């Protein structure tokens, strides 16, 4: 593919059909709104996307079993843990792309250019405005005995939990976060259960007073009806972007990379470059209430309502390096 063609793609200009018009996408993104992303790419390029969708771990296992015969061109998933696992298993290859290097901030790229982040979700704290007069201002505050019996949060097996603990270890050290995690477990309102929306429902039902969730679940509820999170329930929920005076709010990503044995490598790179285009970046926000990875791209109204904040810009590769330590901390803390 020529550089001028890549530039045209990044600018979302209509493109001619490619010589090899297929792309095999292994994706664990499960959002109906992504249909628009795929159809726009197909219309712009003439490349037909063949989607193989499923659980990220299952897709990784499938790629590993398929080996050199794998038809996978792109692996797309919703967390750093699985992207790192795919890399460590040799399932991704380096991508040298001026378009991606220019568009995606360095901290949202793998150090070896084997994967890139394309959208973000801030993992922040929500609270019952009636019952919590002094909400926690930092992640560290969750360990305060004043919040005993108040916290709803996801399980230790959840990648979002693992990611934020890994990030905190990177910032503050394993010993300090071991003490923190043990204290947080002591403040649980209930055993960890359910997804992020369930944590927010826990606030709405009064089962807990403080919860941790990715922003896009709350923003989605602001935009459309979500069972158990109607206008009345949302009115009673406040939110805090933690650690605004130091490390910033933790960010989770959705990202992808080119498979090691990609039979349609040029098309795969073109697809990643398309995901970094302004058109696709705007749709990550408008269609799925996420934050774009590319700076300066407009936010949807539902996301903008949450306000401006300082994100944690720790290199995601550093978080990945601390996942093993995070799992150790969680186990030792009795975080189920």
Residue 323 reports pLDDT greater than 60: yes
User: Per-residue confidence at 31, pLDDT binned at 50, 70, 90?
Assistant: confident
Q: With H, G, I as helix, E, B as strand and everything else as coil, classify residue 252.
A: strand
What one-character-per-residue DSSP string does 76-145 give? Answer: EES-HHHHHHHHHTT-EE----HHHHHHS-GGGB-TTSS-EEEEEEEEEEEEETTT-SS--SSSGGGG-G
pLDDT of residue 60: 98
Instruction: Please compute the mean of the pLDDT values over residues 281-289 and round it to a whole number.
Output: 93
Cα separation of 205 and 197, whole Å?
A: 12
Cα separation of 238 and 231, whole Å?
A: 13
Residue 3 reports pLDDT greater than 90: no
Q: Is there a binding annotation on residue 216?
A: yes
| Residue partners of 85: CB distance under 8 A and separation at least 6 | 60
Q: What is the dihedral of CA 279, 281, 287, 289, to 10 degrees?
A: -150
Instruction: Please compute the mean of the pLDDT values over residues 33-46 and round it to a whole number.
Output: 93
User: Per-residue confidence at 58, pLDDT binned at 50, 70, 90?
Assistant: very high
Q: What is the pLDDT of residues 190-221, one digit of tens each?
A: 999 999 999 999 999 999 999 999 999 999 99
Q: What is the pLDDT of residues 214-258, one digit of tens each?
A: 999 999 999 988 999 999 999 999 999 999 999 999 999 999 999
User: Per-residue confidence at 33, pLDDT binned at 50, 70, 90?
Assistant: confident
Cα separation of 290 and 299, whole Å?
A: 8
Query: Does the reported pTM lie above 0.85?
Result: yes
Residue 45 reports pLDDT greater than 50: yes
Residue 1 reports pLDDT greater than 70: no
For the purposes of burial, counting CB atoms within 10 Å of the CB of 93, is it exposed (0-12), middle (13-18) or buried (19 or more)? middle
Q: What is the pLDDT of residues 256-280, one digit of tens each?
A: 999 999 999 999 999 999 999 999 9
Q: Is there a binding annotation on residue 217?
A: yes
Beta bridge partners of 122: 251
Instruction: Please compute the mean of the pLDDT values over residues 24-46 and round it to a whole number.
Output: 92
Q: What does pLDDT average to over the chain?
A: 93
Q: Is there a binding annotation on residue 30?
A: yes
Structural domains of the chain, ranges and CATH numbers in brackets: 3-120+252-304 (3.40.190.10), 122-249+314-333 (3.40.190.10)
pLDDT of residue 20: 57
Of 174, 164, 179, which Cα lies nearest the Cα of 214? 164
pLDDT of residue 250: 98
Q: What is the pLDDT of residues 120-157, one digit of tens each?
A: 999 999 999 999 999 999 999 999 999 999 999 999 99
Tell me how crowded residue 232 is: count the other CB atoms within 10 A of its CB. Answer: 8
Instruction: Please compute the mean of the pLDDT values over residues 307-320 and round it to a whole number.
Output: 94
Residue 6 reports pLDDT greater than 80: no
Contact 279, 11 (CB under 8 A): no
pLDDT of residue 198: 97
Instruction: Please compute the mean of the pLDDT values over residues 284-310 and round it to a whole number.
Output: 95
Calculate the CA 137 to chain-centre distance.
Answer: 22
pLDDT of residue 293: 97
Q: With H, G, I as helix, E, B as strand and everything else as coil, classify residue 212.
A: strand
């Amino acid at each position: 593919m020529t550089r001028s063609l890549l530039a045209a793609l990044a600018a979302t200009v209509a493109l001619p059909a490619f010589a090899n018009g297929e792309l095999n996408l292994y994706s664990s993104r499960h959002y109906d709104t992504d249909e628009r992303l795929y159809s726009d790419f197909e219309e712009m390029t003439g490349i037909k996307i063949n989607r193989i969708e499923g659980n990220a771990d299952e897709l990784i296992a499938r790629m590993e079993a398929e080996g050199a015969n794998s038809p996978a061109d792109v692996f797309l998933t919703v967390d750093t843990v699985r992207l790192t696992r795919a890399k460590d298993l040799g399932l991704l290859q380096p991508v040298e792309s001026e378009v991606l290097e220019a568009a995606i901030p360095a901290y949202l790229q793998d150090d070896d250019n084997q994967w890139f982040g394309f959208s973000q979700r801030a993992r922040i704290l929500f609270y019952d405005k009636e019952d919590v007069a002094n909400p926690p201002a930092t992640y560290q505050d969750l360990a305060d005995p004043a919040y005993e019996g108040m916290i709803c949060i996801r399980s230790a097996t959840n990648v979002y939990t693992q990611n934020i603990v890994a990030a905190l270890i990177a910032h503050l050290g394993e010993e300090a976060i071991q003490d923190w995690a043990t204290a947080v477990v002591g403040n649980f309102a209930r055993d960890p259960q359910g997804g992020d929306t369930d944590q927010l429902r826990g606030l709405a039902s009064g089962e807990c007073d403080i919860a941790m969730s990715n922003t896009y679940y709350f923003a989605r509820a602001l935009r459309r009806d979500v069972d158990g999170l109607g206008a009345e329930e949302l009115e009673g929920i406040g939110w805090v972007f933690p650690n605004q005076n130091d490390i910033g709010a933790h960010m989770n990503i959705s990202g992808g990379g080119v498979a090691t044995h990609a039979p349609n490598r040029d098309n795969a790179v073109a697809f990643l470059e398309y995901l970094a285009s302004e058109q696709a970046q705007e749709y990550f926000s408008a269609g799925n209430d996420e934050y774009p990875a590319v700076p300066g791209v407009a936010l949807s109204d539902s996301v903008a309502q949450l306000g401006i904040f300082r994100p944690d810009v720790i290199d995601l590769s550093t978080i990945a390096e601390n996942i093993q330590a995070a799992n150790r901390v969680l186990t030792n803390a009795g975080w189920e």
